[in-house]
Structure 1
Amino acid sequence: MATDPVAEAADALYALVPEEFTAARNERAAEARGAGETAAAKAITGLRRPSPSAWIVNRLARDEPDRVGDLVGLGGELADAQAAGDGRALGALVAERRELIGDLMRLASGLADAADRTPSRAVLDEVEQTLVAASVSAEAGSAVASGRLVRALRAVGVDVDLAGAVGGGEPGPPRRLGRRPAERAEGRADAASRPANIRVTARATDPDAAAEQARRDRERREAAVAAARERADDDAHALAEASVRRDAAEQRFEDLEAERDELERRLSEVRDELRPAEREVRIATRAHESAVAEAERSARARDEAEAALSDDEA
């Protein structure tokens, strides 16, 4: 169990469905800040919400630690067989890995469906790639088994890029290092007798443990329903607000269109009135020019007549 406050918070947060992650993370950070753990609060705030495929792998690591541990442990056996050049053992181990991953993929689909999160083909492909990566790299196996993945993993040969892949610091040792080959074979035979869409939880056969598991499952389903209802209410409220904004925008658009049409109509009228007005201006201008010329002639004639009168009187 984690003792570091950041890793402890990460363990709790990455057990949640992605939709609950952000609010719970912020609450944890606030608690750490209130306790005076400023550095831890900052680190918790920096924890990233898991991708859909990472969430499914985290659920597998927590709900199916034996099978995930089998896969991680199988990686070491594969490496040993390859180093020894034992082709027969390598072929058998590759086939066993294929079966293990097939079992885990069926369980992954069941886990997602039980949480009302039917995954897309692309998400399931990422889950499968991550499981393969866990079997070819010890570090990737530890990351997957930690149950704190943030994103999917992909193996390139025997190399896996783990930068930023795990929330809450470097993962510790895997929760399970895998069982011996005989135990794995027995586990597969046991799994084959169960329906593929039913989750197997820690091989529990005790009625009390089964009842407790059923109770937890129901609580998770009820929490999922409550979250879905809350999201639906929020979305309905957002839809109502968006409808009001849309109606107001449409009304404003219609008003502006009507105003534009009125302005275009008035502009057409003004243009029609402008042509005769221009003619009137031209006529009036010519008349004004003629009047000015006539006035100037009259003024000159007056001035000449007054001058002549003055000469006669003299």
Structure 2
Amino acid sequence: MATDPVAEAADALYALVPEEFTAARNERVADARAAGDTEAAKAIGALRRPSPSAWIVNRLARDEPDRVGDLVGLGGELADAQAAGDGRALGALVAERRELIGHLVRLASGLADAAGRSPSRAVLDEVEQTLVAASVSADAGAAVASGWLVRAIRAVGVEVDLAGAVGGGEPGPPRRLGKRPAAERADTRARRGEGRADAASRGAARPPDADRAAETARRERERLVEARRQARERADDDEQALAEASARFDAAERRFDDLETERDELERRLSQVRDELRPAERELRIATRAREAAAAEASRSARARDEAESALDDVDR
């Protein structure tokens, strides 16, 4: 369990729904200031509210750590298969990742529904992109597993931009993605091998016109592949536009949070000044009356002095 006050605050805050984040963060900032820990107060005040998709991934990392760990570990196997040029293993692992991510997205949707925050399709798409990134980059996997995400992350090839993605600072140094035990990997691949063998056995009994059907299926597949390529290009363009809009949103949200924190600080200072103003007003009234009394007394003394000097002058004359 974390003992650092900033880490404890981050653990607690990133478990909350986004709507509750700012008020809870400001309360912890006030507590840290009251305890005299200005450094922690500043660090906690810098924690940013998570986007809806980041909050869902944080919940997933907390409620389903084993499945998230499986996904992160699968990334290490994908990297090894790609480095070794093992196309068969790579294809099987990609299929397994697709199935695991689909399952995690369904779990994420259920977790959000249970919290009364039913996600939109766009939010679930960001969840899926983030999970894909967690299987591509070791740092992204660590960021997702931390449960402190602030925004969705997206892999472009093998590159993942994590700047400002994790509350409380950037992820630690790169770590090699974990892997599943060898026995588990072998069992999974053996099951796939049996499936391929069954398919081959069924194919041996094809009817005579199977070749024509296979050619038709091949052409249809080529058509679908081309359609998929075009759809992916359109999706990439749309995702780029979404990323730019998300960046503008994040900047606006950071500005809003900063101003909100500044407003809270000014309101606290205003309350303090008001408390100090009341006794100062009383002191001012007392001092005003004392000055007026002193002025009257000084005026009387001056008149008495003038009269005495005038009487003396008359005697001298």
The TM-score, its normalising length taken from structure 2, stands at 0.55
RMSD over equivalenced CA pairs, Å: 2.2
Structure 2: stretches of 5+ with no match in the other structure:
189-317
Shift of 1:182: 5.6
The 2-side partners of 1:98 and 1:166 are apart by 25
Task: State the AA in 1 paired with 2:122.
Answer: A
Inter-CA distance 4–172: structure 2 relative to 1 (3 Å threshold): farther
- TM-superposition CA deviations, 1:258-309 (whole Å, max 9, x none): xxxxxxxxxxxxxxxxxxxxxxxxxxxxxxxxxxxxxxxxxxxxxxxxxxxx
1:13 aligned partner: 13
Task: State the AA in 2 paired with 1:115.
Answer: A
1:95 aligned partner: 95
Task: State the AA in 2 paired with 1:15.
Answer: A
Secondary structure class of the residue paired with 2:78:
helix
Aligned residues: 186
The 2-side partners of 1:139 and 1:156 are apart by 14
Task: State the AA in 1 paired with 2:8.
Answer: E
2:137 aligned partner: 137
Secondary structure class of the residue paired with 1:73:
helix
1:225 aligned partner: none
Q: Is the aligned partner of 1:170 residue 2:170?
A: yes
Determine if contact 2:76/2:178 at 8 Å carries over to the other structure.
no
Task: State the AA in 1 paired with 2:154.
Answer: R
Structure 1: stretches of 5+ with no match in the other structure:
187-314
1:180 aligned partner: 181
Task: State the AA in 2 paired with 1:114.
Answer: A
2:72 aligned partner: 72
Task: State the AA in 2 paired with 1:71.
Answer: L
Among all aligned residue pairs of Structure 1 and Structure 2, give the percentage whose two residues are the same amino acid: 87
Higher Cα Rg: structure 1 or 2?
Answer: 1
Shift of 1:165: 0.3
The 2-side partners of 1:36 and 1:110 are apart by 42
The 2-side partners of 1:178 and 1:168 are apart by 28
Secondary structure class of the residue paired with 2:135:
helix
The 2-side partners of 1:82 and 1:33 are apart by 51
The 2-side partners of 1:11 and 1:179 are apart by 27
Inter-CA distance 93–181: structure 2 relative to 1 (3 Å threshold): farther
The 2-side partners of 1:104 and 1:84 are apart by 28
Q: Is the aligned partner of 1:43 residue 2:43?
A: yes
Determine if contact 1:146/1:172 at 8 Å carries over to the other structure.
no
Pairwise mapping of residues 1-314 of structure 1 onto structure 2 (< 5 A)?
A: 1-171=1-171, 177=178, 179-180=180-181
Determine if contact 2:76/2:179 at 8 Å carries over to the other structure.
no
Determine if contact 2:10/2:168 at 8 Å carries over to the other structure.
yes
Shift of 1:172: 5.6
